[in-house]
Every structure is written in C-alpha cells, then in structure tokens.
Structure 1
C-alpha cells in the first residue's frame, strides 16, 4: 500500500510543535526548538537510510519542497544516491563557472615560454584584453557561444580586420585551454562566429617601405647621434626585425658577428638555433658609437627604463613626414637583393632570417651562408653610405 502524501498544509507549518513532521513520500518538516525550521528528504538506498537537506523554511515553501523531494526521489529510483548525485552536479556546475577572464590569463601564462620575452610586450594578450574581455570576461566559458563572439567582434571585424582575426584566434586558444582543463565548452564557437560574421572586406596591407634607391639619403640624414638614430642605422644595415635589435645585448656581439638568441627570433618555424648576423664595417662603427649609451648591457636603452620601443623609431620617421616604417627596411633590403645583386634565393632569404626549405632539406643543410651574407651586407652598407643621389631629408 502506497504511503499517503501531502499530509501538511502551508497554513499549519508555522504553528507546528518542535519535532519532525512527515508530509509523505519521504518529505519531512523539522521544526527546531529555537523556532527555525528546515525540510529534508528521507530515503533508503543500498540498504541504508539517508536524510538529505532541502533548504530552510520559509525560504523554501511547501510547494517547492515537494517538487525538490519528487526530483530527488526520481534519482533514487534510478539507483543513484541522491546526496552523492547532488554533490556531483554541484562540482560540475562549479567547474563550469570558470569565467573567461581567468581562463584567458591562465592560457597566457601557459604559453609565455613560447612567446618572445615571455610575452612582456603584450602583443599576444592585448587583442583579448582590448576587444574581448571587456564584454565577455565575466562570462563562464561554458556559456560562451557563437552569437556572443559575433556581437563582441562585429564592430571591428571589417574596420580592424587583422586585430579582429588575432582576437578570434586567441579566443579559440582560450576555449581549447578550457577544454583541456576539463570544462564543458563549445570548441566550434569561434568557427561558427566566423560564419555569422562573414568574409572580411578589409584587405591586409604591407608595411610601407622606403624604395631601396632612397635608403642612402635617409641613412645619411641620421647624423644626430641619438639612440633612436643609431638604432635606425643599425636596423637598416643588418635588415633584422625590430625586436632583436632593440634588445641587442653587448655580450651577443663577437667581433664582426652578432648572434641573436633563438628565443628572440620570429618566423623561423622549425628552427631552434641561434641566428648569426654578419656585421659590416659600418655596422661595427654604429655599435661603437652607441656603446656609450648602453645601460645594463643593452645597446639601445629607453629614456627611463628598459630598451627603446618600436614606436619610438616609427614616430621618428613619422615626424620626418615619411610613410615608411622601420620594419619596411627589410623589404627595401630584399628588393635591393633581387634587383641589384645576383644573390641566390636561399642566401637572400637566409639574410632575412627566413626559414628556407622543408624540414628534411634543412636537416641535411648545415650552412647558414654566413660568409656569402657577409659580402652582401658589406655591399649594402656601402650603398647606404654612398654619396650618389643623396638628397638631404628634413622634417616637413
């Protein structure tokens, strides 16, 4: 015979005497001597009786208590311990409450070793920090879906296409990181968001570069002797990227060769070794001129701390009324190699620190063409210091 249910009424609960009162179906009402009261579910599973708290009264009404009791009795009928199942669900819910802010920073920390300077320049994290976290940072990652991402990146999807692409890429990495932590996330959310956003209209533009024929005029105008001008001169003469040049340390230089540590390089996928840069006589002269400015061993220190910034060199050129930017001198150098020399392709690409050939080919090729590159760099320096077609560049 089934036990009667719904024995209690809402009106009589507050007047109940201290003790435990059954509502039927395993639901009990416990009135304490101090006037407080709570609900609990009594059930038996695996031969043992358990009492499971369902909340206090009157915060949990009789109707709500009955609904909860029925919910957990159904769990018991499935052969599960209701208390343990509720704890399991609570842990799962807490696990999925990790917000994107925390996941993003944890993902960044785990990738620092793979980033230049441990990511101190902020370029990896900034797309997230500027364009994603202000809107989605407080959301649990398990709740982020494609429409949230679409609405977040839509304002810059076409106007700042490259930044939006990087932000989308970083967010995808964060979702994969969350999944690796055991969180329930939609790993396809970023791909779905891209489908909603559509193809980007903005076309990537190359960094403006000075024609190689105009490099001598600009190089010879850098005669003020400032740290910025000396850095630009060496940047031109070596055709390296800005980062390794700005962080050039005196102990990296050995005579006429500058060895850039592998961790300071970019774009050399599959290469783990340091990169040697041949220094022309002019380059060695520039280093000697810059040496008195060195601080903590860094050849090009910043005004107050650290090293000179890439923006400092770019602003210097901007004040000269130039569209070209520091990184563009690599293009100037590469165009000169192609148009004014007979340098083999592999030598020219290696001079720019580009990885040449596949992994198998590289495993058999042991040379970095240092001496051939040294001859080219000497010719490049002579061009930069030549008096032919030199026009004095002045601020506009």
Structure 2
C-alpha cells in the first residue's frame, strides 16, 4: 500500500509553489500567488486521469483526503470517478438540465462564431420569443417531437422565417445537450418538422423600384434634409440600411469607404468606392455630423430607417428603402455588361465557394469604382 498523509495542515499554507504528493494519488499543486489546488491522480480503464478536488481555500486537507478515498473506492469498482461525479451533479441539480439553461450554455459556446459575439441578440431572439416561454423550464431530456411541434405550430405558417430559425436553433441546442452527455432525442427536431408538415407561406421579397424609375425618385430628393441626403447615399452606394445610418467619417479615406467586419452582415471588411455624386452628397451632409456620425438622430444615436420608409409611404410608393439594392442589381444585369462576381461584390455578397474565394484574393475595387460612377450617372440623370 502506498504511503499517505505526507503533508501537514501547516505545510498546505506554507509550502512554496510546486507540486507535492500527499500519498495514495493525492497531490497539492501550489501556485505562485499562494493559492493551490487538490488533485487526485487515478488509473481508470488503464488510463491515467487527474481529478480536481477543489482549492485549498475551500477544501481542507482532511476533506481532500476524505474525497480522495471516496473516489479511489469508486475507481476500484471499475467506475470512472470523473464521469460519475458529473452524473451525480446532473441528478442533484435537475433544474440545470432545463431547456433554458442548456440553451444559454449553447449560445455561450457559439458566441465566438457570431457577429459581435452575438451582442445584437439575433441568435437567441427566436428562442427567447417563441420557444423558451413555453418550454424553458422543462428538462431538455424530457422534450420530444410533440412538445416541439405544439410550441412551433402557432407560427409555422404565419411567421415561417421565425419558425424556421427557432426550430433549427433548437436543434443546435439539442446537439449541445447531447455533447454534454445528456440523454436527449437528437431526432426530435426532425420528427417535429415531419409533424408540422410543409410550410404554405410564400416568401415575399421586399418591394423595389424598377431601375428605370430610380432617377426620377432620386432627383426628387432635393430638400437638403438629413433624411433625404442619407436616402440619396443609400441609393448611390447600394449599401444596407444600418451601414448608411451608422456611417462614421473615420471610415472614409479619399474616395473609399471601408466598413469594418463587425459592421457587415457577412462579418468581413467591405470597401465601397464612392462616386463623385456620393462624395458631393457626403459634403452636403457634413453640417449634420455629430461625433463623427454623418447621419445622427434628433436627440441621440443615428437616424432611423423608418424615416426613409415614411418618405416613400407618403408618396404612395410600395417600394421600400432596402429594395434599392435590388434596383441596382437588376440595372447591372439588364443595362450593363458587368460580370456577376463584380456586381455581387458591390452588394457585399459572398461569391463562390470557400476554395474559390481562397484563390480569388480581390474585391474588384477598380472595376466597382467605374460601376458605381455609371450607377451615379444613371440615377442623377447624367445619362439616359
């Protein structure tokens, strides 16, 4: 039998940084800051395992020896003490297996791959709104396809996009639970989709103005207000609403506007060549600048995209601001010979597969500079 009880209670506090063997597999690991950790070394199924038993600030020498004896006994019974401890913890705290808890754990695990670490809340939103209010307190191991079907059914046809996101993200949460070792039905989401059936809702695209009619609308934006100037720049750059509204002058260098990755939907830096007309519009809007933002709100923040929508609604238009991206893309296809990859890059769309993108290391800035000048000439009426 291995010698044990080699360390005294006084030594636990006084020993310098290092590793000290108390015997029978129990070790004290002292840190430079004076703290320390109890570690039990075991051999389970022929493998060396190390099991943390707690810090010296919370676990005394006597308690560490008692814990070590308990887990050594379990190892002699052919059980893995680490896995057994995890199982016992899960059984002791069943509420920790609730869908709500596991969902937030899954979100934390995915944050690094989400835009701005998921700060906008878009990943969690479908679950927070449509799933967790009904199933949040239910242990995830008890959730089956009928629970999921009954929860998603009210929005399956009426809010198809939200329903699709909610059920797909629920599937990710279920996989996370399985990775934790919980006994969940990984087929529950697919079974629920089968019970829900095919969505009857048809996708409605955002109404856009035909590219032939954009010049008349653009040239009517003449009052010099922050709303109309920002809408003009939206049209000229074919950018997204949030990109224009949050434009900061620090992002502009000469005739190139560089949007950082954290502001882009695809999470990649995007350069927009600014036409002469766009630069004139920016210069005209300079008196409105506040703290670097070209289009600030009335009191705080930045201008709302609802302002643009109201301009178009008041004129009886069905088209909406985001639709100008479609107007631009259709113009590229019908009125120019612009290569597809250049037009798609102008819209900050990801073009081609991962391998193709790895070899195509260009954003076609020069070609897009010429393209945006032609688009500006079109909308400002300089060409037919």
Answering whether residue 275 of structure 2 is matched by residue 275 of structure 1, we say no
CA distance in 1, matches of 2:210, 2:172: 39
Q: Are residue 169 (structure 1) and residue 131 (structure 2) matched?
A: no
C-alpha separation in 2, matches of 1:135 and 1:333: 43
- TM-score, normalization by structure 1: 0.69
Rg larger in structure: 1
CA distance in 2, matches of 1:380, 1:206: 23
Give the SS at the match of 1:327.
Answer: helix
Of residues 342, 356, 362 in structure 1, which corresponds to 2:351?
356
The alpha carbon displacement at 1:254 in A equals 0.3
Corresponding residue of 2:263: 264
Give 1:224's aligned residue: 223
- The answer to whether structure 1 residue 379 and structure 2 residue 374 are counterparts is yes
CA distance in 2 between partners of 1:185 and 1:223 (Å): 61
Alignment of 1:156-235 (within 5 A): 156-235=155-234
Conservation of the 8 A alpha-carbon contact between 2:377 and 2:383: no
Contact 2:233 / 2:278 at 8 angstroms: preserved in 1?
Answer: yes
Cα separation, partners in 2 of 1:376 and 1:113, compared to 1, 3 Å: same
Indicate the residue corresponding to 2:327 in structure 1. Answer: 332
Work out the CA distance in 1 between the residues paired with 2:242 and 2:110.
19
Distance 1:184 1:301, change over 3 A: farther
Matches within 5 A, 1:230-309: 230-267=229-266, 272=268, 274-309=269-304
> In structure 2, do the counterparts of structure 1 residues 346 and 295 end up closer, same or farther at CA, with 3 Å as the change threshold?
same
Q: Secondary structure at the match of 1:196?
A: helix
1:344 aligns with 2:339: yes
Shift of residue 223, structure 1, vs aligned partner: 2.5
Describe the SS at the equivalent of 1:97: helix
Count how many residue pairs are aligned between Structure 1 and Structure 2.
306
RMSD: 2.9
Separation of aligned partners in 2, 1:91 and 1:150: 31
Mapped to 2, the partners of 1:92 and 1:119 lie a distance apart of 28
Which residues of structure 2 form unaligned runs of 5+? 1-76
213-222 or 101-110: bigger deviation: 101-110
Measured in 1, the distance between the counterparts of 2:290 and 2:112 equals 25
**Contact map agreement 2:240 2:322 (CA 8 A) in 1:** yes
Q: Secondary structure at the match of 1:366?
A: coil
* Partner Cα separation in structure 1 for residue 137 and residue 155 of structure 2: 21
Which residue in the other structure is 1:143 paired with? 142
* Residue deviations 1:321-372 (CA, integer Å, cap 9, x gap): 2221222111100110111111122222221222223333323323221111
How many Å separate the matches in 1 of 2:118 and 2:223? 33
Q: Which moved more, 1:257-266 or 1:181-190?
A: 181-190
The offset of 1:136, in angstroms, is: 1.3
